Structure 1
Amino acid sequence: MQKISLLVATALLAVAPAAAMPPPLPPVEGKDAATLQAEMESGSMYDELLTTLYLDRILKVDDYGPKLNAVIATFPDAQSEATRLWKEREAEKKRGPLHGIPILLKDNIEAKGPVPTTAGSLALKDNITNRDAPIVARLRDAGAVIIGKTNLSEWANIRSNNSTSGWSAVGELTKNPHALDRNTCGSSSGSAAAVAASLAPLAIGTETDGSITCPAGVNGVVGFKPTVGLVSRTHIVPISHSQDTAGPITLTVRDAAAVMTVIAGSDPADPATAEADARKTDYAAALSPDALKGKRIGVLRDRIGDRADVAALFGAALKQMADLGATIVEIDDSRKGLEELGAAEFEVLMTELKADMAAYLAGLPGKDGPKTLADLIAFNKAHPAELKWFDQSLFELAESKGGLDSPAYVEAMSKAARLAGPEGIDKLLKDKGVDLLVGVTNGPAWTSDLVNGDHYSGPSVSQLPAVAGYPHLTVPMGAVEGLPIGVSFIGAKWSDADVLAAGYAYEQASKKRVMPTFRTRVGP
């Protein structure tokens, strides 16, 4: 195939007569990574052009046009990396299914190059570490092209209870591509909005509690939070070593599985991943359209919210699963006995935030900059742009906590782990004799409101798998007034392959993903 740069093609279109016009550039909108890889294998697309097309789309859709504010920065070497990978492909040295595929990283994940890792905060606007997080190194080794960093709820939404998801001082407010006045949820807001808007076919998000699954559900894409300990957290801005994990946000479950196959694995610097090498597998190879056949599925009926339209979508999804051979088992009171879970989780997050943030900041290569949570609090007080829309009450509360040896933390940690795991998900699975749990991921996206903050009122099933550290997958199951709704699949610890396979079977049969329309608002 003749190589034509986007800029050259544009120039030719402006001056050439109709008979001499170059062929139209291939579209990327709505295409998943597997489709793009097949196009590159066939010669109808090549690595250099693919990266150019996505960088151009970021410029047109994110920086101008709808101006989603989903992407904070792009890497200047992305195009040269794509060229190098194209030459490898020409030499028949393809590295795997991610070879030449562009990917975006949430901006709390470090990557080599002149782009800082900010977590959305002006306090880290100069945080250029020139080091790859281990998961980024794995992606590069697999041939993925790191093209940019995505916006997020600042500090992964742990600064204030009055925040607006998707806003950061560095990236401003991320907009939902399905309706620009609607929220993207958080904290992996930009990653989910970018994939939905085809600014890249793949992105990496992070989750402590709902920060992958909620944005993915609200933006109408696939999001997977793996078992905590399956994926390294080294060189990722932390909240909680008990609950933090990175995971893929993609257009399809197959793409999520392909990314997981690459990023899963042990990291000597992250003790939680000690078992990862023994537990990981080829997640894409484990997918099957028949994966729900013979499975018993526990329905979290008490967590679907009070909207009849959402309940109708969920009912249709359950029928689809039953048609695929699953047995549907109702669970009417999944909250029973878990009344103290929320308070225990909150104590753990506040205490670990103080300790884990200090450890991360102290380990940064630069001598200048904040080194403790107290330093961040002082920085915010000195910079009005940081506190323009909401306060830092959670930072201040976390700063008041004791260390990881404090009795309050030790008790809360034990209680949270017990209630979410052995007395939570494990008990539900065992008592009901089910293989997986399913529920509604999200309600329709709410209107963004920087003055009053979030007013999320839909269902949520994220807490149990987040606190237990168990896998949680969301897959599109339709839309309400054009606003996407996701269905969640939750499993036991290390059952990541089974959860992905179940979601894949449902996805292949239902095909409920909807394309964004970039409309200004919902309604007249």
Structure 2
Amino acid sequence: MDRRQFVRIGVAAGAAGATGAQAAPAAAGKHAGGILDAGVREQQQMMEAGKLTSHALTSQYLARIRTIDKAGPRINAIIEINPEALKIALEMDRERHLKRVRGPLHGIPVLLKDNIATGDRMSTTAGSLALSNVRAARDAHVAAQLRAAGAVIIGKTNLSEWANMRSTHSVSGWSARGGLTLNPYSLDRNCSGSSSGSGAAIAAGLATLAVGTETDGSIVSPASICGLVGIKPTLGLVSRSGIIPIAHSQDTAGPMARSVADAALMLAAICGVDPKDPITREGAGKGGDYLASLRTGGLEGARIGVARNFFGENDAVDAVIEKALAELRAQGAVLIDTELPNANKYGDSETEVMLYEFKADLAAYLKEYAPNASVANMADIIAFNQKHRQQELPYFGQEQMERAQQKGGLDTPAYREALANNHRYARAEGIDRVMREHRLDALVAPTGGPAWLTDFVNGDRFTGSFSSPAAVAGYPHITVPAGYVHGLPVGLSFVGAAYSDAALIRMAYSYEQATLHRRAPQFPPSVSLAVR
């Protein structure tokens, strides 16, 4: 079974807080939600001008979470609030007052997916009751990088439990600990996953930025479905240490944001060498200058391959993407119709690799980051779920975990053969081959279909996905809002060769600035079929 078949109000609420003035809307008329829907640069400009403080901004986001996430439409994107958020914000304000601004994210509120370890008073659980109230021994490298950059971690987001690697019949965005996250663009529809809460939260303006994680599609799919920019970086640019794993050969964290600029700022903050993750030494300095890529004109002369074998799943989505292709041409890109070769030759082997690595990597994570947990390995978690099946298994089972438990170690020949197959057909005879033959700078295709109705009887219903090639190869992938189908967002994907992250950001930014498709959600109970 293919991985994507089983993976997977505009109200400015609250007072500004005691330490700062009321936060006036930035760029009036541009952001429906005022300062809470604004980007990093606008929020920083207001703080630099003394019109806003980090404490005020954090207070307003926390109030909006109470208004939108826990009441009103109750999108349920946040699994836990950081009890130290306001204290951290005050410290960032104090440092700013002393002219000690750490960088572009200083004082900016961010959310982390609840599979990213934080060595604080919050739990890190992957949505599982087996890790409820378990505090990590220390920060994941990503969390530490954000703290060093001055970001204010205000909470954790809900996710598909165990990052959607528990069942072949799962419902994305549901976890036993967090419940179901709703799609802000249609509350009866799914957010996709597994970074469901990160997608819904940023779409709804519950923080400025969020971190998601991806093994195959778990950043780009919910980003596309929630009308966001999502970046899955080249494997090795961002450390994997301290992130509850599925598969080290594909896992990476990445930004989810309302703009390419915001996503690039976050990527610059979280990437870097981590002594605990050797692969980051391979990626040191190779990703390019993400911030320098934030300039228009980046599509002029770019040779872009249109991966036609990833069209045809949904006529309405294809129509949206054809308009996007016309815009790429208008911006000076040279488009070459092509097909991505061998994309059907690693579905089964990808799953095999995940099963082997999930078993091994999860035990290693629990030993290092959750030594006090009541579970120490995959077998323990399976037994816990059986014992608490009314809470953990009411809608779908744990077949994937059971399959993983049956696998041998990472020295097993079958594992090594599957991994070699993945790299052969996704890299050398896949993305690398088509880009070399046509001298391409990037590939584009629809990220996937629009959001489907959440269905606990039949499970997820994906309609197309362009996530697997870059995920299996470990190559960069960026999705950008491209338009809407019946009011539901659709994303355009840019995929490139290893370490072409900065080039993809340049192309994605130029497309975004020329189109500006993103609209804030209005939390309708369902889709109006009169809206296209």
Compute the TM-score of the two structures, normalised by the length of structure 2.
0.92
Q: Write the distance in 2 (CA, Å) between the matches of 1:313 and 1:171.
A: 34
Deviation at 1:281, TM superposition (A): 4.1
Q: Is the 8 A contact 1:217 1:484 kept in 2?
A: yes
Q: Write the distance in 2 (CA, Å) between the matches of 1:79 and 1:368.
A: 28
Instruction: Name the SS for the 2:284 alignment partner.
Output: helix
Q: Deviations over 1:139-162 (max 9, x none)?
A: 111110000000000000000010
Q: Deviations over 1:329-384 (max 9, x none)?
A: 001x32x4343311111110111111111111122353341111011100000002
User: What is the correspondence of 1:276-295 to structure 2 with a 5 Å cutoff?
Assistant: 276-295=283-302
Is the aligned partner of 1:397 residue 2:380?
no
Equivalent residue in structure 1 for 2:381, among 376, 388, 398:
376
Q: Residue 412 of structure 1 aligns with which residue?
A: 418
Equivalent residue in structure 1 for 2:141, among 131, 134, 144:
134
Q: Residue 434 of structure 1 aligns with which residue?
A: 440
Q: Is the 8 A contact 1:209 1:463 kept in 2?
A: yes
Q: Is the 8 A contact 1:344 1:415 kept in 2?
A: yes
Q: Residue 460 of structure 1 aligns with which residue?
A: 465
Q: Relative to structure 1, is the Cα distance of residues 413 and 8 closer, same or farther in structure 2, using a 3 angstrom cutoff? A: closer
Q: Residue 9 of structure 2 aligns with which residue?
A: none
Equivalent residue in structure 2 for 1:249, among 237, 240, 256:
256
Is the aligned partner of 1:299 residue 2:313?
no
Question: Match for 1:87: what amino acid?
Answer: R
Q: Deviations over 1:105-147 (max 9, x none)?
A: 0000011221100100000002102511111111111110000
Q: Is the 8 A contact 1:350 1:394 kept in 2?
A: yes
Q: Residue 451 of structure 1 aligns with which residue?
A: 457
Equivalent residue in structure 2 for 1:483, among 478, 484, 488:
488
Deviation at 1:280, TM superposition (A): 4.2
Q: Deviations over 1:466-485 (max 9, x none)?
A: 00000000000011111000
Equivalent residue in structure 2 for 1:188, among 192, 195, 198:
195
Q: Write the distance in 2 (CA, Å) between the matches of 1:23 and 1:283.
A: 33
Q: Is the 8 A contact 1:231 1:265 kept in 2?
A: yes
Q: Residue 79 of structure 1 aligns with which residue?
A: 86
- Listed as ranges, the gaps of 5+ residues in structure 2 are 1-12, 26-33
Q: Residue 337 of structure 1 aligns with which residue?
A: 342
Q: Write the distance in 2 (CA, Å) between the matches of 1:214 and 1:444.
A: 10
Q: Residue 28 of structure 2 aligns with which residue?
A: none
Q: Is the 8 A contact 1:261 1:281 kept in 2?
A: no
Instruction: Name the SS for the 1:313 alignment partner.
Output: helix
Number of equivalenced pairs = 506
Q: Relative to structure 1, is the Cα distance of residues 408 and 77 closer, same or farther in structure 2, using a 3 angstrom cutoff? A: same
Q: Write the distance in 2 (CA, Å) between the matches of 1:304 and 1:36.
A: 38
Instruction: Name the SS for the 1:298 alignment partner.
Output: strand
Q: Write the distance in 1 (CA, Å) between the matches of 2:194 and 2:370.
A: 26
Q: Is the 8 A contact 1:178 1:516 kept in 2?
A: yes
Q: Is the 8 A contact 2:307 2:444 kept in 1?
A: yes
Q: Write the distance in 2 (CA, Å) between the matches of 1:57 and 1:130.
A: 30
Is the aligned partner of 1:501 residue 2:506?
yes
Q: Write the distance in 2 (CA, Å) between the matches of 1:273 and 1:29.
A: 34
Q: Deviations over 1:265-313 (max 9, x none)?
A: 1111112111232324441122221111111000011212343321121
Question: Match for 2:281: what amino acid?
Answer: A
Q: Relative to structure 1, is the Cα distance of residues 267 and 378 closer, same or farther in structure 2, using a 3 angstrom cutoff? A: same
Is the aligned partner of 1:172 residue 2:179?
yes
Q: Residue 362 of structure 1 aligns with which residue?
A: 367
Deviation at 1:55, TM superposition (A): 0.6
Q: Write the distance in 2 (CA, Å) between the matches of 1:9 and 1:55.
A: 11
Q: Is the 8 A contact 1:34 1:97 kept in 2?
A: yes
Question: Match for 2:475: what amino acid?
Answer: Y
Question: Match for 2:503: what amino acid?
Answer: D
Q: Is the 8 A contact 1:264 1:276 kept in 2?
A: no
Q: Write the distance in 1 (CA, Å) between the matches of 2:416 and 2:213.
A: 25
Q: Is the 8 A contact 1:230 1:265 kept in 2?
A: yes
Q: Residue 165 of structure 2 aligns with which residue?
A: 158
Instruction: Name the SS for the 1:479 alignment partner.
Output: strand
Q: Relative to structure 1, is the Cα distance of residues 464 and 24 closer, same or farther in structure 2, using a 3 angstrom cutoff? A: closer
Equivalent residue in structure 2 for 1:387, among 393, 405, 408:
393
Q: Is the 8 A contact 1:261 1:280 kept in 2?
A: no
Q: Write the distance in 2 (CA, Å) between the matches of 1:321 and 1:430.
A: 21
Identity rate, percent = 49
Q: Relative to structure 1, is the Cα distance of residues 41 and 386 closer, same or farther in structure 2, using a 3 angstrom cutoff? A: same
Compute the TM-score of the two structures, normalised by the length of structure 1.
0.94
Equivalent residue in structure 2 for 1:230, among 216, 229, 237:
237
Is the aligned partner of 1:519 residue 2:524?
yes
Deviation at 1:33, TM superposition (A): 1.7
Q: Deviations over 1:431-454 (max 9, x none)?
A: 122110001012110000122211
Q: More deviation in 368-377 or 36-45?
A: 36-45
Instruction: Name the SS for the 1:269 alignment partner.
Output: coil
Q: Write the distance in 1 (CA, Å) between the matches of 2:16 and 2:466.
A: 49
Q: Relative to structure 1, is the Cα distance of residues 368 and 441 closer, same or farther in structure 2, using a 3 angstrom cutoff? A: closer
Q: Is the 8 A contact 1:478 1:514 kept in 2?
A: no
Q: Write the distance in 2 (CA, Å) between the matches of 1:337 and 1:215.
A: 25
Instruction: Name the SS for the 2:35 alignment partner.
Output: coil
Q: Write the distance in 2 (CA, Å) between the matches of 1:281 and 1:44.
A: 34
Q: Write the distance in 1 (CA, Å) between the matches of 2:373 and 2:326.
A: 57
Instruction: Name the SS for the 1:262 alignment partner.
Output: helix
Q: Relative to structure 1, is the Cα distance of residues 387 and 211 closer, same or farther in structure 2, using a 3 angstrom cutoff? A: same
